[in-house]
């Protein structure tokens, strides 16, 4: 069964460092998403990506964040200068289309900023 | 504003007992509704979804949910809980053309043997 894969599963980084979280969406899917879940809080939408550009982003997704689909398979989330409050579980998801289909999620990357 | 409320933070049931997890939503248009489950160390797995049509939807692992527009609810049910159902359950509504998901806080389910 096709699945969304995320690497690494856990990353520890020092405050101020750049991190790149990687995702391989399901191959025929067209919409890609990043969500995050700070411990004890709700899962929050960060950004959606379609047709090689951001289609929607939340207030959380400020200039420190960027997304890229560098090739036909990977979808990355970059945090330029990490802060302590960026510590969270980051989930990548993909869907066949934005409407009328469900999103499939990866296992998540736990980011710990120290 | 769009929102999802799961009133129960934590529920404990005995194995074999029935289960109902509550979900209420606030959304201006016809909602696309989802239940996801997260087992320890695992990702988010779709249990079931409601887009349109029959308001009682069946999902995986013996779960079902009923959409009640008049109550803005989409409660998840299972007639007989198994120990392997212990997990975190999230209700979500799909919003906008991109169908970004707006999430509830989740309900943690513990199952007593």
Mutant choice from A9, A42, A53 vs B, greatest count of B C-beta within 10 A: A42
Nearest Cα neighbor of B44 from A27, A35, A78, A113 is A35
Residue with tokens 């007593």, as numbered in its chain? B112
Examine the pLDDT at B43 and tell me if it is beyond 80. yes
Averaged over B2-13, what is the pLDDT?
95
Averaged over B42-61, what is the pLDDT?
92
Distance in Å, alpha carbon of A103 to nearest chain B alpha carbon: 8
* Chain B contact present for A60, CB below 8 A: no
Which residues 30-49 in chain B show a CB within 8 A of chain A? 32, 34, 36, 42-46, 49
Strand order in the sheet with A75-79: A5-7, A19-24, A75-79, A65-68
Size of interface A-B (CB pairs under 8 A): 57
Residue B2 has a pLDDT of 85
Q: Are A92 and A26 in contact (CB under 8 A)?
A: no
B101–A43 CB contact, under 8 Å? yes
Chain A residue numbers with beta carbons less than 8 Å from the beta carbon of B43 are: 4, 91, 105-108
Q: What are phi and psi of B62, to 5 degrees?
A: 80, 10
Average pLDDT value over all residues in chain B? 93
Residues near B84 by beta carbon (within 8 Å), at least 6 away in sequence: none
Examine the pLDDT at B10 and tell me if it is beyond 80. yes
Distance in Å, alpha carbon of B83 to nearest chain A alpha carbon: 22
What's the token pair of residue A28?
Answer: 């025929």
pLDDT (tens digit per residue) in A41-87? 999 999 999 999 999 999 999 999 999 998 878 999 999 999 999 99
Nearest Cα neighbor of A43 from A89, A82, A77 is A89
Distance in Å, alpha carbon of B104 to nearest chain A alpha carbon: 6
């Amino acid at each position: 069964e096709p699945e969304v894969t995320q690497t690494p599963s856990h990353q520890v980084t020092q405050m101020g460092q750049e991190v790149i979280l990687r995702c391989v969406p399901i191959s025929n899917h067209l919409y890609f998403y990043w969500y995050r879940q700070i411990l004890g809080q709700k899962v929050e939408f960060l950004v959606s990506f379609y047709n090689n550009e951001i289609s929607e982003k939340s207030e959380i997704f400020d200039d420190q964040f960027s997304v890229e689909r560098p090739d036909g398979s990977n979808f990355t989330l970059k945090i330029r200068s990490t802060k302590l409050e960026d510590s969270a579980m980051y989930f990548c998801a993909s869907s066949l289309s934005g409407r009328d289909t469900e999103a499939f999620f990866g296992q998540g990357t736990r980011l710990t900023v120290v | 504003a769009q929102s999802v409320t799961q009133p129960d933070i934590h529920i404990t049931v005995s194995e074999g007992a029935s289960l109902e997890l509550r979900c209420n939503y606030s959304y201006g248009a016809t909602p696309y509704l989802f239940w996801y489950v997260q087992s320890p160390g695992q990702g988010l797995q779709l249990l079931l979804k409601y887009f349109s049509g029959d308001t009682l939807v069946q999902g995986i692992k013996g779960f079902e949910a009923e959409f009640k527009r008049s109550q803005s609810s989409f409660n998840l049910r299972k007639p007989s809980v198994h120990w392997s159902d212990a997990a975190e359950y999230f209700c979500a509504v799909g919003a906008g053309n991109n169908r970004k998901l707006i999430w509830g806080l989740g309900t943690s389910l513990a199952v007593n043997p």
